[in-house]
Amino acid sequence: MAKIKFGGIEENVVMREEFPLKKALEVLKDETIAILGYGVQGPAQALNMKDNGFNVIIGQSKEYKKDWDRALADGWEPGKTLFSVEEAATKGTIIQYLISDAGQRILWPKVKPCLKEGDALYFSHGFSIVYKEQTQVIPPSNIDVILVAPKGSGRSVRENFLDGSGINSSFAVFQDYTGRATERTLAVGIAIGSGYLFETTFQNEVYSDLTGERGVLMGALAGIMEAQYNTLRKHGHSPSESFNETVEELTQSLIRLVGKNGMDWMYANCSATAQRGALDWRHKFREAVLPVFEDLYSKVVSGEETRIVIEANSAPDYQEKLSEELREMRESEMWQAGAAVRSLRPENWGK
């Protein structure tokens, strides 16, 4: 593994050049990779590995018709490459446990007996292992327990693979029974199309992931957008103007500049008026939200956020409640304005 400096701190990073696809194919040539769950991450990782030439099978219950039908539509064949969760887990030597966190807890009593000595149990999230007191997911001692966590949604994992860019992933080994756990982990990380892999632990992955999702990546982003949009509307600005100044300019212009060369480069390519105001107000926003992030992180570490997730996602009416919350967001004035603004983009003309 290469040593890369990030802000003066050295970290272990594995690049494709260091661990090429040819090497991954050699490492996993005798392995059967069983993907359990065909929901969010499952399809992307499975299809990427299949396209890369690995031996992949799917474990998906027919009870979840939407996911089963999606697997069929993607070309997985019942009895050949598509099986029940238990049968796939039994056939596999690397078992990728990609069911939802709440689902992993529920299905674990069925999956655990299927694991054989020397198998590798693979996660893309440290949730079930780190919060084992709540999930009761405690692997047997005679298997490898490994993790590769792509830093993006399943859709991004697949789209980035298809355009050749890949997506960054973290990796970790929780239990090395075979002595090959690290090698297997890196091989699967390359197999699913990671741009590069950086080392972490199961605990650090889940703490950072839960904080990030609730924070900047999703929760804070949505909340701050809503606050700014509502402030502009309150003071008489039109929906179109409010949405453009809050979301459209960010997603269609500024965030692309940040992604290309960093925040300072984005600032340097904006007007002097924008630079001065952003530099001044940046500190005020940071100090205002810092206590919220500290509160969030403490709730992640304590397991409070885990408790909420398990209780909510295990409820029989979870999907109905989720659909209602998303409908409320979609039908709010802000996101109705967003739909109208997006329809005016040149690529949508005439549609």
Residues involved in catalysis: 125
Q: Residues 6 or more apart from 194 whose CB is under 8 A from it?
A: 16, 148, 150, 166, 167, 168, 169
According to DSSP, the residues that pair with 55 across neighbouring strands are: none
CB 96 within 8 Å of CB 154: no
Rounded distance between C-alpha atoms, residue 123 and residue 121, angstroms? 7
Going by C-beta distance under 8 Å and a sequence separation of 6 or more, which residues neighbour residue 271?
none
Cβ(232)–Cβ(243) under 8 Å?
A: no
CA–CA separation, 98 and 142 (whole Å): 21
Among 92, 221, 203, 102, smallest CA distance to 149 is for 203
Contact 103, 44 (CB under 8 A): no
Q: Are 48 and 104 in contact (CB under 8 A)?
A: no
The answer to whether the beta carbons of residues 195 and 225 sit under 8 Å apart is no
Give alpha helix (H) positions in 192-303: 202-214, 219-234, 239-243, 249, 255-261, 263-268, 272-302
Cα distance between residue 100 and residue 240, in whole Å: 37
Q: Dihedral angle at the C-alpha atoms of 185, 302, 132, 134, nearest 10 degrees? A: -140
Half-sphere exposure of 189 (CA within 13 A, CB side): 32
Residues 6+ apart with CB under 8 A from 229: 242, 243, 246, 247, 334
Lookup: tokens for 74? 């993607």
Give the max Cα distance, the chain.
Answer: 67
